[in-house]
Amino acid sequence: MDPDFWSDNRKAQAVMQQLNALREEVTTWEGIATQLQDLLGLAQLLEEEPDEDMQAEVAQSLPPIEEQIEKLQFALMLSGEHDERDAIVSIHAGSGGVDAQDWAEMLLRMYLRWAEQHRFKTEVYDYSEGEEAGLKSTTVEITGRYAYGYLRSEAGTHRLIRLSPFDAAHRRHTSFAKVEVIPDVEDTIEINVRPEDIEVDTYRSTGAGGQHVNKTDSAVRMRHIPTGIVVTCQNERSQIQNREVAMKLLKAKLFELELKKREEETARLKGEHVQADFGTQIRSVTVHPYSIVKDHRTNFETGNTEGYLAGDVDPFIHAYLQDKAGGVATSE
């Protein structure tokens, strides 16, 4: 009701997004309560007047409700400071040549399908194509409540073992891709970036986007001089819009860098081993000579490689969060 509420459109939209998420959560719980109350009423009637058909209907109604409650209870594990935020996911092809670039594109497709299954919005901000196939690197924002809380488990190096479709001899190849996941904190944390610390280059977009994108220098590459961090955006139609998105990505990466420094310092003070390489291998997908996907942190695995690559990542995300919460992960 504040008359100045919409004066800051970006902030207002963030508040409305939070409001809608909370409204959806409350509505979900209220809906479950109503369903259970109705079933309880039917159960009491069946005690007085047994009816086999009605009993079967009540029995069939319970499993979907139990599954829904289980998912809501699982969400309670997403209690990190930034777990509710949107996620910025970057994928980089690693060693493995064309196969690695193809693997990076497979991962992008997998996460886009995962997001679609969760009804999350996605926007690809940058896409650098490979020479022959696949991609060299890409950055996509996944927007939805708890997007970062779920996807933070995916940060690290992913390995693929398969018979290469790019090898004339059809030999087995191993390729790697690195996934980075950071929260979108632009609306919640003030990060000061001095204009003199930034170098900005503009160039012509090489990706899809129509005639306007491909004929003007609208794409933006932004480099933060003190840290050497480089971000790019070529998705929007105008250079101004791409600059705004690039600055958003830069602030998110600077925030991630600061978090890592704090974690390293805390570990050092505690006398713990500090992992210098943040791109350690976390998961392997083997398509040949057998089919298996295995997470090396939780030991969770599944033989359904096809389903996994089609976006069925939740079992691995759940296993990771359960492991972090002190639970036990099991294989499918």
Q: Give me the residue label for tokens 């040549």.
A: 97
Q: What's domain 195-270's architecture?
A: 2-Layer Sandwich (3.30)
The CATH number assigned to the domain with range 87-187+278-324 reads: 3.30.70.1660
- Pairing mode, if any, of strands 156-163 and 281-286? parallel
Q: What does the DSSP assignment read for 108-143?
A: HHHHHHHHHHTT-EEEEEEEEE-SSSSEEEEEEEEE
pLDDT of residue 279: 47
Q: Which tokens is 289 given?
A: 């000579």
pLDDT of residue 331: 52
pLDDT of residue 88: 93
The answer to whether the beta carbons of residues 234 and 209 sit under 8 Å apart is yes
Which pTM does this prediction carry?
0.72
* Cα–Cα dist 104/316, whole Å: 19
DSSP-assigned beta bridge partners for residue 143: 121
Residue by residue, what is the 3-state secondary structure of 245-313?
HHHHHHHHHHHHHHHHHHHHHHHHHHCCCCCCCCCCEEEEEECCCCCEEEECCCCCEECCHHHHHCCCC
pLDDT of residue 187: 60
pLDDT of residue 210: 39
* Tens digits of pLDDT across the chain (332 residues): 888 888 888 778 778 877 887 888 899 889 999 999 998 888 888 888 888 888 888 888 889 888 888 877 777 788 777 888 899 999 999 888 899 999 999 999 999 999 999 999 999 988 888 888 899 999 999 998 889 999 999 999 999 999 988 887 778 889 999 999 988 876 666 677 888 888 988 887 665 443 334 445 678 899 999 999 999 888 766 788 888 888 888 888 888 888 778 777 666 665 654 443 444 689 999 998 899 999 999 999 999 999 999 999 999 999 999 888 775 444 55
* Cα–Cα dist 252/185, whole Å: 6
The H or E element that residue 81 is part of is none
Q: Give me the residue label for tokens 């003070």.
A: 269
Residue 138 neighbours by CB under 8 Å, 6+ apart: 90, 91, 104, 108, 124, 126, 127, 128
Q: What does the DSSP assignment read for 147-205?
A: HHHHHGGG-EEEEEEEE-TT-TT--EEEEEEEEEEEE--TTTS-----GGGEEEEEE--
